[in-house]
């Protein structure tokens, strides 16, 4: 671990939140955005349904995908944080069925508090992940800030006939989830205790490129990625946009090793609790207990894709059904 004057630096202690758990709560965000982003004829995909990125057509077959994502430290190691933040930003392009072509860095750094050498390590981690994705990094923007933050703005391309979007779900389609849940509670435990969880790091640094390509090849047209609003939050946005409901099979959802124990130990972020409060009016939980509810709402950082269709190797966790009294029914 890096140090300042012999004292170990824990980057997660320099920010109130961590990773995608530091997002503005979904309900508050929708109120702020109401009426500010009217539909545009120039956009193939805009802000109407909270899709992962914007898409504008450049000709009859090709679209440009534009997105940005950044957040406070989710792990203490700067290089690993850079890798995670880059994978998370690139994921928005993959969640639209696209391919990233160029990225620029977004860096906020407390230059009088933390050495710039640590910032260099963050940028190195982001560059290495972008390189693995075949996406060059062409500079970026930085500001002096009280809290460290890092991410990327990413531009990609997509076949207009093969876009993955929130509003294309139809009754009868299965739901697949390409990464296990539990990243949020393990990150919260890491922030509180300093324990390192390699299984969470492996999940967060894994690119969603292969899952996206597999979904597109299988003819899938509806998907999103699971990040700060948790599985339930992103699933609710998908079914609301598509005008359908869903049955979610709780026993089919996979979790990272140690996630349940972390949740039982109280390592639950405020973001996760806000996610649950937002979706509760729209979910029939049946007899599902509080820990399971929190885990389904757990704020993920660089999570997997939630796909309305089958993806090889990914568990099927439910299915879309005609719109009913509850948007989500958990069984």
Q: Where does residue 220 fall: left (phi above 0), alpha (psi -120 to 50 degrees), or beta otherwise? A: beta
Contact 259, 181 (CB under 8 A): yes
Contact 11, 75 (CB under 8 A): yes
Which listed residue (20, 108, 135, 222) is catalytic? 20
Would you state the structure tokens that stand for residue 88, as one six-digit string? 């998370």
- Counting beta carbons within 10 angstroms of the beta carbon of residue 141, is it exposed (0 to 12), middle (13 to 18) or buried (19 or more)? exposed
Cβ partners under 8 Å of residue 265, min gap 6: 189
Query: Which among 308, 324, 16 has a CA at the least distance from the CA of 148?
Result: 16
Active site residue 62: no
- Which residues are catalytic, by number? 20
């Amino acid at each position: 671990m890096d140090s300042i004057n012999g004292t170990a630096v824990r980057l997660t202690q320099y920010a109130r939140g961590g990773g995608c758990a530091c997002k503005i709560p979904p309900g508050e965000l929708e109120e702020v955005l109401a009426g500010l982003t009217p539909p545009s004829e120039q956009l193939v995909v805009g802000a109407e349904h909270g899709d992962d990125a914007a898409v504008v057509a450049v000709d009859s077959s090709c679209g440009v995908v534009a997105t940005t994502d950044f957040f406070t430290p989710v792990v203490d190691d700067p290089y690993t944080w850079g890798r995670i933040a880059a994978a998370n930003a690139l994921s928005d392009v993959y969640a639209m069925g696209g391919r990233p072509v160029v990225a620029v860095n977004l860096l906020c750094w407390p230059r009088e508090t933390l050495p710039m050498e640590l910032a260099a390590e963050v940028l190195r981690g982001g560059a290495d992940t972008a390189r693995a994705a075949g996406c060059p990094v062409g500079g970026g923007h930085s500001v002096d800030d009280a809290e460290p933050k890092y991410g990327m703005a990413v531009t990609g391309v997509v076949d207009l006939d093969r876009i993955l979007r929130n509003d294309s779900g139809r009754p009868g389609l299965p739901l697949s989830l390409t990464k296990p849940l539990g990243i949020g509670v393990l990150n919260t435990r890491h922030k509180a205790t300093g324990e390192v969880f390699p299984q969470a790091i492996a999940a967060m640094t894994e690119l969603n490129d292969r899952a996206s390509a597999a979904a597109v090849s299988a003819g899938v047209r509806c998907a999103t990625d699971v990040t700060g609003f948790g599985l339930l939050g992103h699933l609710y946005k998908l079914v609301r946009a598509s005008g359908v409901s869903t049955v979610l099979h709780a026993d089919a959802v996979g979790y990272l090793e140690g996630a349940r124990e972390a949740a039982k130990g109280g390592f639950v972020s405020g973001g996760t609790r806000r996610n649950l409060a937002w979706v509760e009016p729209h979910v029939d939980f049946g007899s599902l207990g509080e820990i399971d509810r929190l885990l389904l709402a757990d704020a993920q950082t660089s999570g997997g894709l939630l796909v309305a269709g089958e993806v090889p190797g990914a568990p099927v966790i439910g299915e879309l059904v005609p719109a009913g009294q509850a948007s989500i029914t958990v069984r």
